[in-house]
Every structure is written in structure tokens, then in C-alpha cells.
Amino acid sequence: MRVLGIETSCDETSAAVVDGTGDEAALQSLVILSQDVHRVFGGVVPEIASRAHLTSVQPVVARALADAGVPLDSVDAVAVTHGPGLVGALLVGVSFGKALAHALGVPLAGVHHMEGHLFATSLEDRAAAPPFTALLVSGGHTLLLDVEAWGRYRLLGRTRDDAAGEAFDKVAKLLDLPYPGGPHVERLAAAAGPGAGDGLRFTRPMLRRDQRPDDPDYYDFSFSGLKTAVLNAVRAPRDGAPVPRAAVARAFQDALVGSLVEKTARAVVAHGRTRVVLGGGVAGNRALVAAMRDRLAPHGVTVYAPGARLATDNAAMIARAGLFHLERGERAGLDLNAFATLSIPGLIAA
Amino acid sequence: MITLALDASTYVGTVAVLDGRTVVAAREAAMRGREAERLMPALVDALTAAGVEVRDIARVVCGDGPGSFTSLRIAASIAKGIATGVGAELKRVSSLALVAAGGELPAGGYLAALDALRGEAYFQRVRVHPGGEVALESGFYLGPLAAVAAASRESAAGVIAPRETLDLIVAAAGGSLDGAVPMAPHARGVARLEGALEAADLASWEPRYGRLAEAQVKWEAEHGRPLPDA
């Protein structure tokens, strides 16, 4: 089945073509158009993002088809992100996708954005398939899941305040770094070298040795306190001298990564998994991937991380997740709507 | 030639299927549904009622605003999706013109108006010719509700607007306004607007929203220059 994916949940307009069956499906093309306009605002402006999607969606789809070398009438189905995300932005993709599917006379699948991230890495490495422990880390979400099988997701933990990517953006702002902050903080942290620079160390958030598996915060995350710690470090000079920004970035990243890695390790042990799959924009952070591999490799666990294009918001993962639902006979109606918040389909009780 | 027309400049979206200049089916849909998006089902329902297959559509005409940002985009996205899928020509038409053309009016000059929120309205001079053809006589303006009433009195052109918007304009005029007629934009009005249709580029076309995004307005006021990359 050849699936055209469309993704417009935030500030990337993306289209992709995925062709094949199940885990053998292959990515034929992926086009991602990022909206640079939001940089001056330090964050995504929903109305501006929505307007940009409308003038991008058709050319991005046309380009994805051209890159795949396939005509429009060879598309067997359309898959589109319908939540969670910015509703105005989502509605452009949803409305265009519905109309296109109807015009072509092909089925439509509505895809949960975060379920898409679960599938992303499998397009690059077919071994990144269930069962596995998943850590999804982006600007809007931080989710720790046990994935028994595609379509069966056990939510173990989530952030109680800021998402990991959001924390990177806020800390970047405190350090006078541009938006989006993740790559800039990572580069600055790398400049500090190992040892968290100048002895600065932040507490790993929501991570205590005496936590038990039945504690409500055993798998959960919290990053707002870490952001406050950064703020205090930036504002309060030590011995009359400001703390080097690189040291602050390094200490922040070490604390955030430390929390993500340890909670993921807990989930791996508790569910006896031998694979960890990372997803979302923060999964592109090399320090996170390296720390996760260092921590879990001695236990025989393989860590799969997506490449940069599949870590960011993209339509390839939407097409792949859509393929999964379409192969199960699931179809979205033409009244498909967009939702700012949305439960992942297939979520089972923890 | 089969034309699919749609408009969603207000919280009521409208669809019409035309064969030549004859309206063969028309539908309306609320644009504020939380669980379901209703304009696309209304479109399919209209095609079914008209006995027309989607592949038979040769032209898509979409309301070009001004009006509700999100609703305009839903209609525009659907228009682009259909036009892309069937290879149809895409055209745009003023949503204010669809106010005048969407119903029956005596020949004459009118001020078509749509709510712009914040005590303002979008308005445009239109003319209904004998026989019903509608033509635009100006670009559209954005101004206080009272300005619409004043323009109506000055030009002796009756205001035509959706009921809720008209009530606001009449209230701003002091409680009465001669020649005011409640009229809502409707896609079936495309049948009377052949001369007012404009080509729309499938890739780059976007509706005339009537306002910039609020964040853009603030940024440009603060920096004294246009927003880069916008």
C-alpha cells in the first residue's frame, strides 16, 4: 500500500510517501518545510503557523510525490496528523488531506502525532520494532511508554510540567541563545567538556534512590524546577564572578539527560525489554543518545534513535503509523477533526 | 461545466454545486463543531444531492474572505485538496460579494458587511444589476461598526450583513438604519458572480484574512518594519 502522509501539527509542513506492508514498508520520499518566521518570537505563533501551512501544504505534497517519482493517482491512501497540536495548524493538513483523499477516492487515516514518533525510527532500522521501551521527547511532550506491540502502548510516565524540549527552549532563553534552543544548548554544553564544568551540578529532577515502582512519580518527569535552578545559577554569581554559560548549559543538560536515562532504565528493567526506541526532536540530542547507550549497553539493551529528519516533526512517521491503522481496516470519516489534546490510540492501563 | 463553490467566512460554512450557472445543490454547515468538522461532509452531501461525482468537478471556487481566520482556512484547504485531487481549476471570490449574491435583492447599490470582531466590520460596496448579476464596486474596508452605518447613510446604500452583524451595526447607528437587510454569505452566489471570479494559484493562494496575526502586528509596531519571512 502506498500512503501519502501529511503533517502540520506545529511549525513544520511535511509530506511523505511510504510504500509497502507492515514493518517492511519503505520510505520513498520525505519533504519538511520549516517555518523560520517564529525565531523572532522565541516560540511558535499559532496564527502565523497556520497561515504558512496553507501556502505550503500543496507544494510540499507535490514535491514529496515528485521526489518519490510517483503520480498522484498511484496513492492508495492518505494519512494525516489530527492531534495533538495547534488546532489551527492541524486543521490545514486535516482539511486538505480529507479533500484530497475524497477526490482520489482513497481511504483516509487520522494519525496521533506521538504515535507517529513511535514508528519513525523503524523507517530507518527495521529492528526498531516492538516490543520495546519508548521515550518520546519533544517540545510539547515527554512520554515514557512500554510498547508490547504496534497499537498496544502502556503509558508509564510523563512530564508533570514542562516537556523536555520546552525546558531546552526556556533555558536557551535564559542563556541568551536563539530559538529553537535545543541544538544551541547542546553545542554550548559540549564546549564545557566533561565534568559539568566548574563543579556546577543540578539535582536530577524527580529522581530519588528511595523511589519504589509503585510510587506515583517513579516514571514521571519534571523539568520546571531545573529551569529555576538554571535561572538562579545565571543570576547569582559565584565568588563575585558569573558562572560560565557553557557550564550552566552542561549542568542543565546533564541533569535533564540523567533523569531521562534513569527513568528509561527503570522501565527497561521492569518490563524486561531489550530494545529502547527514542523519538521526538530531543532524541536528536547526541548527549542523550550517548548517555542512554552507555547506561543500557552493559545490560544487553540496544538503543535506537532516529536520524535528524525523522526525529523532528515529519510526515514519514505519519504515513507509517497511518499504514498500520489502514492495514487493520481502520478508516477516518470525512468529519475528521483536529484536536489540541488527544489520547494515543491503543493505550492500555499501566 | 461543474463548479464546486464553498465559503466559510463566518461561523456558517456553505457549499454549492453548479452546472454552468445553475445551482443544482447547496448545503450549510456549522463551523464551530468540537467533535466533528462539518464542511467536508456537507460538500460530499451536496455532490451526492446534485448527482455529481467528485471527478466531474472542473472548477473550484472558494470564498476569499475577509472573515473568520480558521473557518476561511478550512474552506481554502478543502478547496485546494479537491482541486489538487481532481486537477480542477481554482478560483477565488470575495466573501463580501457572496453576501450580496447569496440571496435575492432588488437591483441597486449596497454595502456588504461581515463582522471583524472588536467592534469593527469588514465592508465593501457592491452592486446588484437587473437580472441579479453582482459586481464589486470597491475594495474592502475594515472600520468601526459606526463607520459602516455612516458610509451607508452617506452613499444611500443599504447595509447587507448576517443578522448578528447587522444588529451590531444598527445598534452602533443609534438603533435604526434605513435600507438594512439581513443577508448571509452563501456559496450559491457564485452563480451571480462570474465576472468577479479571480484566478487563484493552487500553491500560494491564501484568503484575504482582513487582519494580520496579532503577534505580527505587535512585532511590526515594536520594530517599525515588516516581519521577516512572513
**Mean pLDDT, rounded, for A289-307:** 97
Classify domain B2-95+186-223 at the CATH superfamily level: ATPase, nucleotide binding domain (3.30.420.40)
CATH of A130-305 among 3.30.70.580, 3.20.20.150, 3.30.420.40, 3.40.50.920: 3.30.420.40
Question: pLDDT value at position A348?
Answer: 84
Question: pLDDT value at position A198?
Answer: 65
A163 close to A139: Cβ distance less than 8 angstroms: yes
Question: pLDDT value at position B230?
Answer: 65
From chain A, the residues in CB contact with B47 under 8 A are none
pTM: predicted TM-score of the whole model, two decimal places: 0.95
**Mean pLDDT, rounded, for A290-307:** 97
For residue B54, is pLDDT > 60?
Answer: yes
Question: pLDDT value at position B228?
Answer: 85
A263 close to A221: Cβ distance less than 8 angstroms: yes
Measured CA to CA, the distance from residue B22 to residue A233 in angstroms comes to 72
Of A35, A87, A99, the CB nearest to B78: A99
A22: buried, middle or exposed (CB in 10 Å: 19+, 13-18, 0-12)? middle
pLDDT tens-digit profile of A29-82? 999 998 888 888 988 899 999 999 999 999 999 999 999 999 999 999 999 999
From chain B, the residues in CB contact with A97 under 8 A are 81
E strand intervals along A241-283 = 275-279
Share of chain A above pLDDT 70, in %: 97
Question: pLDDT value at position A197?
Answer: 54
**Which class is B103-182 in CATH?**
alpha beta
Does the distance separating the beta carbons of B77 and A103 come in below 8 Å?
Answer: no
Domain boundaries, chain A: 2-119+311-327, 130-305
**Grid cell digits, residue B5:** 463553490
For residue A335, is pLDDT > 70?
Answer: yes
Of B38, B44, B77, the CB nearest to A92: B77
A230 CA to centre of own chain: 24
What ipTM did this prediction achieve? Answer: 0.96
For residue A47, what is the nearest residue in chain B, using CA coordinates?
A: B213
For residue A195, is pLDDT > 60?
Answer: no
**Mean pLDDT, rounded, for A128-151:** 97
Question: pLDDT value at position A235?
Answer: 86
For residue B71, is pLDDT > 90?
Answer: yes
**Mean pLDDT, rounded, for B54-60:** 98
**Mean pLDDT, rounded, for B44-70:** 97
Q: Is A217 helix (H, G, I), strand (E, B) or coil?
A: coil
Question: What architecture is domain A2-119+311-327?
Answer: 2-Layer Sandwich (3.30)
Same fold for the pair B2-95+186-223 and B103-182: yes
Is B48 in CB contact (< 8 Å) with chain A? no
Among A202, A151, A94, A204, smallest CA distance to A330 is for A151
Is B55 in CB contact (< 8 Å) with chain A? yes
